[in-house]
Amino acid sequence: MTLLLRTDRGLYCEAGGFFVDPWAPVDRAVVTHAHGDHVAWGCGAYLTSAEGEAVLRRRLEPGAQVRGVPYSTALDVNGVRVSLHPAGHILGSAQVRLEHHGEVCVVSGDYKTEPDPTCTPWEPVRCHTFVTECTFGLPVYRWQPSSAVFERIHAWWRSNQEAGRTTLLFAYALGKAQRLIAGLDPAVGPILTHGAVERMTEPYRAAGVPLPPTTHVAVSDQTEWPRAVVVAPPSADGSAWARRFGPQSTAFVSGWMAVRGTRRRRAVDRGFAISDHVDWPSLLAAIDATGAEEVWATHGYTGVLVRWLSEHGRKARAVETRFEGESDEPDTADDAAMDERAGEGPPS
């Protein structure tokens, strides 16, 4: 029996009677991480990592049944051995390892192999079948060290201070925003946050992730705005909320910023290529590290990856999902809902 089946509600483990990252409500869901394209509201029960439990609860309806288990702890689910292993994507992100009758399958969720201080680093998990994302599965995507990108962010921030402009840095409220905050130097100036960012930063601090001090914009000193960097979700770009800062310079942080044309389409002043996904070399290295005999490619440039693997003697196929990697950190309805819950009001 194949351990996983592609269904109209997501990847289904028939032997265990559960789904992995379903995109519609199901009775039992194993969730790799709390981003909206991997979580369906209304499931009967959720299993996730203990590290990511608090974050997931903030993304779900009140009263959702969520169980968190430590990394590498194996559970028996109807005879299927299930364990979660670090994915290095955001706080609590996990790869799902399934073992049944000697067959081992690993679902990567989203992952990156470059460590950062905001989450447990990715670990390779040996398996027969590896279900991997390939959001940036093209040879053109090769990340520079994040330290070099932060140097450019700081230089841009200082130049805005000299010009009397507020620095607005747009990034997805969960994961990317906290990684940015961790890398920003508070000696340059105050770090301010949009309510949606501040709300998702709280569980990071509660988990002991080392972050510099931040101040919610709503309680900040307006005289400090021209010296500050403001971290906000992409949904705030061009909104009445953003216009309150007066003269400003804007930037978007995403792996897509490695391609200049994407920055122009975003209509921001600057783009910085920092991604919480693997680039092309890291993707191939991660696949090799699993020792997988077969690779299923999802979420992104599946055709390119499958062709490359096939040409290099590996069994591979594309598996269509509801979300096909069109956006690095999607600006979803979840963002707008979080904005309103954080008291920011809907984007205008």
List the domains of the chain with CATH numbers: 5-141+276-330 (3.60.15.10), 146-272 (3.40.50.10710)
Confidence of residue 328 (pLDDT cuts 50, 70, 90): very low
Between 184 and 36, whose confidence is greater? 184
User: Where residue 332 falls among pLDDT bands split at 50, 70, 90?
Assistant: very low
- Whether 263 has a pLDDT exceeding 80, the answer reads no
Q: What is the pLDDT of residues 80-126, one digit of tens each?
A: 999 999 999 999 999 999 999 999 999 999 999 999 999 999 999 99
One-letter amino acid identity for 70?
P
Evaluate whether 230 touches 194 at the Cβ level (below 8 Å): yes
DSSP code string of 222-281: GGGGGG-EEEE-GGGTTSHHHHTT-SEEEEEESGGGGSHHHHHHHT-SEEE---SS--HH
